[in-house]
């Protein structure tokens, strides 16, 4: 089953733009056996819900919900408050991938729920590119269980609560879409996580969950569409480090699923979350060439390279990982669809190095779709069913 794997857990501001989207993403490996990698969710951002300064952000997947109520100008004219609630099935599941092999006997299911409170402060309200400071406190509870393939002698972690505190600075940003037409971001982040039930698990306690973990990372991003010819490019650089990370909270790189999290660490051709890193630097780029005069069909090419220091216990030969890919991208008013191929140059498989995958990304803008279906000539525009789905 496709599900939300961690969509946009923190935003750097209360989004003032109405959005109603359906997002789908799926990667299928052509070499080796990998865990399911995909997402499917309905995303809505609704300013002015109930009160004029309230904004509801909602992401609904088949078995998961992620929501936040944003209240603008709460503490000061430039400080917003966000109150979040999230949770559901399979959100905290873990898949062990070691040496290019998916080890289902050492993988397990996790379900969880979370409440959070965030402050978003704009330091330069008169400037065109906003600089936001973010502080977010969260309480998360995880329930772990065995999969049907989990080995009989493998003990899953104890159910437990995790407290976290994230702080960061973000200058600029980008829209939550597949290829934002224009985006620029420089950001720096720190997150502290504290577990209430650390300890040993696995085969006779051969692996550990740490009590306290510190994560540090930053991102530089630029995306731009040339206005006359319609060519599009994006460049990004993401780097991160950690102190006392473990298997469940380390940085994990792989696959092409750009909306799987706020800071998706993509590597074309690799399994989703194939590489577990203690420290990393990831550089990626994409370019889209229009193929027709209406600029609906595009040829997409992309690539990524990462330098990795592995999490202890998940090391492999070599610290560099490269992936390249391409595909066909279609964009009309309500639709964006990409069908692509990825090649993991340095991915380890049974035959040696090199892995192949195919994938699909779909975005449907429901506002634009309903406008096309229910335009002014339609006699159904004001009927109750339409109000039920469109009115808040």
pLDDT (mean) for 62-83: 96
Q: Is residue 291 part of a domain?
A: yes
Q: Give yes or no for a contact between 23 and 40, defined as CB atoms under 8 angstroms apart.
A: yes
pLDDT digits (tens, 9 = 90+) for 44-66: 999 999 999 999 999 999 999 99
For the stretch 189-225, pLDDT in tens is: 999 999 999 999 999 999 999 999 999 999 999 999 9
Taking the C-alpha atoms of residue 89 and residue 86, their distance in angstroms, rounded to an integer, is: 11
Nearest to 3 by CA among 45, 56, 66: 66
Q: Which of 88, 30, 19 is nearest to 57 (CA)?
A: 19
Residue-level pLDDT at 13: 79
Q: Is 331 inside any structural domain?
A: yes
CA distance 216 to 188: 8
Closest CA to 134 of 147, 149, 117, 150: 117
Is the pLDDT assigned to residue 115 strictly greater than 80?
Answer: yes
In the predicted model, what is the mean pLDDT of the chain?
A: 92
DSSP assignment of 33-75, as one string?
A: ----EEEEEEEEEEETSSSTTEEEEEEEETTEEEEEEEEEEEE
In a domain? residue 2: no
CB 87 within 8 A of CB 113: yes
Q: CB atoms < 10 A from the CB of 135, how many?
A: 13
Q: pTM of the predicted model, to two decimals?
A: 0.91
Is a pLDDT exceeding 50 seen at residue 3? no
Long-range CB pairs of 300-303 (<8 Å, 24+ gap) are 300/326, 300/327, 300/328, 300/329, 300/338, 300/340, 301/325, 301/326, 302/256, 302/268, 302/326, 303/268
282-334: per-residue pLDDT in tens? 999 999 999 999 999 999 999 999 999 999 999 999 999 999 999 999 999 89
Residue 260, in any domain of the structure: yes
Q: What angle do CA 379, 385, 391 make, to 5 degrees?
A: 105
Does the residue 6 lie in any domain? no
pLDDT band with cut points at 50, 70 and 90 for residue 367: confident
Q: What is the pLDDT of residue 378?
A: 45
Band of the pLDDT at 368, cuts 50, 70, 90? confident
pLDDT single digits (tens) 166-176: 999 999 999 99
Query: Do residues 105 and 150 make contact, with C-beta atoms less than 8 angstroms apart?
Result: yes
Q: Which of 3-12, 72-81, 102-111, 140-149 has the lowest mean pLDDT?
A: 3-12
Asked if residue 326 is part of any domain, the answer here is: yes
Strand ranges of the sheet holding 199-203, from the earlier edge strand across to the other edge: 154-155, 199-203, 207-209
Please determine, for residue 28, whether its predicted confidence score (pLDDT) is greater than 90. Answer: yes
The domain in which residue 339 lies consists of 19-390
CATH number at residue 164: 2.40.160.50
Q: How far apart are CA 392 and CA 47, in angstroms?
A: 10
Classify residue 207: in a domain, yes or no.
yes
**Residue appearing with tokens 């634009």:** 368
pLDDT band at 31, cuts 50/70/90? confident
Q: Is 117 domain-assigned?
A: yes
Please count the structural domains in the chain: 1
Q: Side-chain half-sphere of 109: how many Cα atoms within 13 Å?
A: 9
């Amino acid at each position: 089953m496709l599900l939300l794997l961690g969509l946009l857990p923190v935003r750097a501001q209360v989004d003032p733009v109405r959005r109603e989207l359906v997002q789908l993403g799926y990667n299928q490996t052509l070499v080796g056996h990998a865990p399911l990698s995909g997402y499917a969710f309905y995303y809505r951002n609704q300013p002015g819900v109930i009160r004029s300064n309230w904004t509801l952000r909602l992401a609904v997947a088949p078995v998961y919900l992620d929501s936040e109520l944003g209240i603008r100008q709460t503490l000061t004219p430039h400080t917003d408050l966000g109150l979040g609630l999230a949770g559901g099935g399979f959100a905290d599941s873990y898949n062990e991938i070691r040496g290019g092999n998916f080890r289902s006997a050492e993988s397990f299911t996790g379900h969880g729920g979370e409440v959070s409170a965030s402050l978003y402060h704009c330091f330069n309200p008169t400037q065109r590119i906003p600089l936001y400071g973010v502080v977010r406190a969260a309480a998360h509870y995880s329930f772990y269980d065995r999969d049907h393939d989990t080995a009989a002698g493998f003990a899953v972690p104890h159910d437990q609560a995790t407290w976290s505190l994230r702080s960061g600075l973000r200058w600029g940003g980008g829209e939550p879409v597949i290829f934002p037409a224009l985006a620029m971001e420089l950001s720096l982040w720190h997150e502290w996580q504290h577990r209430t039930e650390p300890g040993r698990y696995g085969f006779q306690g051969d692996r550990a969950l740490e009590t306290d973990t510190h994560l540090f990372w930053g991102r530089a991003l630029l995306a731009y569409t040339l206005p006359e010819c319609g060519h599009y490019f994006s460049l990004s650089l993401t780097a991160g480090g950690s102190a006392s990370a473990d298997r469940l909270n380390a940085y994990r790189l792989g696959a092409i699923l750009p909306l799987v999290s706020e800071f998706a660490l993509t590597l074309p051709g690799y399994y989703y979350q194939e590489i577990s890193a203690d420290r990393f630097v990831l550089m990626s780029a994409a370019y889209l060439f229009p193929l027709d005069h209406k600029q609906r069909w595009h040829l997409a090419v992309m690539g990524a390279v990462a330098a990795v220091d592995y999490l202890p216990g998940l090391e492999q030969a070599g610290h560099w990982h490269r992936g390249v890919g391409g595909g066909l991208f279609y964009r009309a008013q309500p639709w964006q669809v990409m069908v692509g191929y990825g090649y993991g140059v340095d991915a380890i498989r049974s035959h040696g190095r090199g892995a192949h995958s195919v994938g699909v990304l779909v975005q449907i803008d429901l506002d634009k779709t309903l406008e096309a279906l229910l335009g002014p000539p339609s006699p159904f525009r004001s009927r109750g069913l339409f109000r039920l789905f469109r009115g808040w």
